[in-house]
Structure 1
Amino acid sequence: MTGAAQAKLEVDGRAATVDDLTYLAMGGYSHFTAMQVRDGRTRGLGFHLARLDAATRELYGEGLDGERVRELIRHALAGGPDGVTGDASVRVNVFRPEDTPGGAVRLMVSVRPPGAAPAEVVGLRAVDHQRPVAHLKHSGGFAQAYYGRLAADEGFDEALLVGPGGVVAEGAITNIGFIEGDTVVWPDAPALNGIAMQVLERELASAGVSSKRRPVFLSDLPSFDGAFVTNSRGFAAVGRIDRLELPLDAPLLATLRALAHAAPWDTV
């Protein structure tokens, strides 16, 4: 395979079939996790495995063996697209075709070239939308892509999902956090507990940095000392939300960036 957009797709350790791809392409009932792998390692591996296991239990009524997941990721990494070996963007989809309701869940691992790190500072466009069943990383991200494109068309880097009454939830493909003095404030609203967010929370606790969750509204944004977003590709400060310019000089912002960059990598 050649070309940056090429991907290797395996289901349970073998090449994906047309039937496999058709089920997922037609909006099949599934969930997934996505990670950046460097030299065969990724950040927050335990969080990824816990996410997959919990969602599989909720959607299919059975657990998912983390060692099986690791083995299938390693197998897929062993011969990915040209230029991809131990460095890659990896996605693990868990599904069970509707015509085999009593069968075991299946795992599709996709391997693509590594994703680029985000810009150091990004701008967000607030949109009225919250993901359904937001605690799951599930298939069906049309709205996120739609609003993300609208934001890009208006010169922003990503959409910020906002619920009733202006309550801030999450970015379209990120988690957002706010700085209040020496404390990190995470929005308390329906949202996915992202892996990078969980890793950063762990690092904050280890470093003795205070963090808490509480409702955050668009009307609150001018009171914060800064904001940031995280996802598997990295950490970025938020320079603006709509027309509001946010401070970029908070000492805690530099601390957060350093903690995010220094977080350990786990061997797959």
Structure 2
Amino acid sequence: MLRIEIDGEPPTTDRLATGLLANYGHFTALQLRDRRVKGLDLHLHRLDQANRELYGTPLHGDHVRTLIAHALGDIRDAAVRVTVFGLHAPSVMVAVLPPTTPPTTPQRLMSVNYTRPLPHVKHLGGFGQFHHRKRAEQAGYDDALLTADGLVVEGAIANIGFFDATGGVVWPRADWLHGTTMQLLERQLPSRREVVRLADVGRYRGAFLTNSIGVVGVSRIDDVEFTVDDSALAAVQAAYDAVPDDPVE
């Protein structure tokens, strides 16, 4: 942890304990390079919409940007997590951490029959996701793939996309978190949404995961092996790289 602030001030034990022990709130995670981030408008919209749903009040983007810039100080490259927490009067915590990059190897996923409560909100309380992720790692996989009654939903902390026979991208039609990276790629790439059955994932040419960290290929889902298509994955990465960066201040 490089720096942490709550409502623009150094954290105190009381403020942390009062809010975080309730384990109620929402957040977004950003990767900043040279104090710029892709899809800033989507992150700010996510925070505002979740705040309206959980607390009944807006969370203005200019205020969030000010808090991020203040917490950064002179830091230019960082992973930043903006967390809104508390049962009643919410506080905004900005945590500044060293920048993060995607895994360097394709991911192996173990399917689990589990979906997040209130899945469209990036909320606190990821016990189920991380429990299943830990189980997957113990079984020799890299991560968990969340499913519902045989339908693919999302990764434990990422969206999943599939390559179809024409080179387009298929996103599962399900109750998932509409991730910021997924939204950016939908603007850039020929893509569609359709129901993806776990039993049928082998009919796709490949798969990949996306979240705020970036894009990474998938080499296996349960017993189904994928040949990682480097050119298709490079096209996804190039589409993401082409998205302009927005300044946080």
Same fold (TM over 0.5): yes
Equivalence for 1:150:
135
Structure 1 residues without counterparts, runs of 5 or longer: 1-5, 80-84
1:155-194 equivalence runs, <5 A = 155-164=140-149, 166-180=150-164, 181-194=166-179
Structure 2 residues without counterparts, runs of 5 or longer: none
State the one-letter code of the partner of 2:17.
T
Deviation at 1:250, TM superposition (A): 7.3
Give the % identical residues.
47
Q: Pick one of 11, 16, 20 that aligns with 2:11.
A: 16
Deviation at 1:218, TM superposition (A): 0.6
Moved over 6 A (4+): none
In the TM superposition, what whole-angstrom CA distance separates every residue of 1:2-59 from its partner, at most 9, and x where no partner exists?
xxxx342211100111122113442432000011111101111000000001111111
Equivalence for 1:3:
none
TM-score after normalising by structure 1: 0.87
TM-score after normalising by structure 2: 0.94
In the TM superposition, what whole-angstrom CA distance separates every residue of 1:237-263 from its partner, at most 9, and x where no partner exists?
111111210132375333112212332
1:118–1:233 contact (8 Å) kept in structure 2: no
Number of aligned residues: 247
Distance in 1, matches of 2:130 and 2:217, equals 21
Distance in 2, matches of 1:19 and 1:175, equals 36
Equivalence for 1:69:
64
Q: Pairwise CA RMSD of aligned residues?
A: 1.6
Do residues 32 (structure 1) and 27 (structure 2) align? yes
1:34–1:232 contact (8 Å) kept in structure 2: yes
Equivalence for 1:93:
83
Distance in 2, matches of 1:43 and 1:8, equals 22
Distance in 2, matches of 1:162 and 1:168, equals 5
State the one-letter code of the partner of 2:31.
Q
2:102–2:216 contact (8 Å) kept in structure 1: no
Distance in 2, matches of 1:254 and 1:179, equals 12
Equivalence for 1:214:
194
State the one-letter code of the partner of 1:174.
A
Distance in 1, matches of 2:202 and 2:148, equals 18
Task: Give SS of 1:110's match.
Answer: strand
Do residues 245 (structure 1) and 225 (structure 2) align? yes
Q: Pick one of 112, 116, 121 that aligns with 1:136.
A: 121
Equivalence for 1:124:
109
